[in-house]
Structure 1
Amino acid sequence: MLNKVKVVICGKSYNLQTEENPSYVITLAKDLDKKITQFMDENESASLTSAAVMVGLSLLDDNMKSVSDVDNIRAQIKGYVEEATNMRIEADQLRKELDALKSENESLKNDLGLRSLRDKVDGTHN
């Protein structure tokens, strides 16, 4: 659904149609107005067009760096997920091995108990 939003940037009104929440678009416009105004205050000889272009380039630069950072974070997370998966597989294998060793240990204890009992029985019959 398209929303109609009126914003003012550097004293000029713009009537926009957007699918975004109107308050979000108004916030964006206020931030842009603030950045352009600040640039023009710091660079008194800059025209509105130059200020808008420079602010636009700065915002695009910030966006590109953010996208790059997000891509790097995604790659790191993917690595962590793969590592966690490998660790989970290894833990499962170690649990199985531990269970097998416990079973073998129990079997050996039983065998030892039986041999000990046989030795006692054999010792009492001799």
Structure 2
Amino acid sequence: MSNKVKVVICGKDFTLQTAESSNYVFGLARTLESRITEITDANSSASPFTAAIMVGLATLDDLNKANAKLDSIRDQSKEYVDEAGKTRLERDAAMQQVEALKSRIAELERELREKDSK
């Protein structure tokens, strides 16, 4: 489903075609305008356009860093899953050995009882 959402950023109207809710888009527009205003207030020579470019670059930097962290987390998760699978196999093998040893103990105890009864 697609919505047309009209937002005002730095006094300019923008109509956006989006699948997102209008409240979400309004929130984005408010955040963008707030960041632009922070830059223009801090630097009187910065135009809204220049501030928008700076916000865009900072946002892309944040996105790239977040994606790198996400990739790292995915890699780490895969390592954990692989390690868990390996550990599960080792546990299963150990359980088989325990069962084999229990059977051997029971067999030896039977043999011992047989010898003692003779």
Alignment TM class, shorter chain as reference: over 0.9
Structure 2: distance between partners of 1:117 and 1:15: 97
RMSD of Structure 2 on Structure 1 (CA): 0.8
Structure 2: distance between partners of 1:21 and 1:106: 69
Secondary structure of the 1:27 match is helix
**Percent identical across equivalent pairs?**
47
- Deviations 1:64-111 (Å, cap 9, x if unpaired)? 000000000000000010000000000000000000001101111111
Match of 2:100 in 1: 100
Q: Which amino acid aligns with 1:49?
A: F
Q: Which amino acid aligns with 2:33?
A: D
In structure 2, runs of 5+ residues without a counterpart are: none
In structure 1, runs of 5+ residues without a counterpart are: 119-126
Structure 2: distance between partners of 1:42 and 1:90: 61
TM-score by length of 2: 0.97
Deviates more, 1:7-16 or 1:53-62: 7-16
TM-superposed deviation, 1:59: 0.3
TM-score by length of 1: 0.91
Count, aligned residues: 118
Secondary structure of the 1:35 match is helix
Structure 1: distance between partners of 2:31 and 2:52: 12
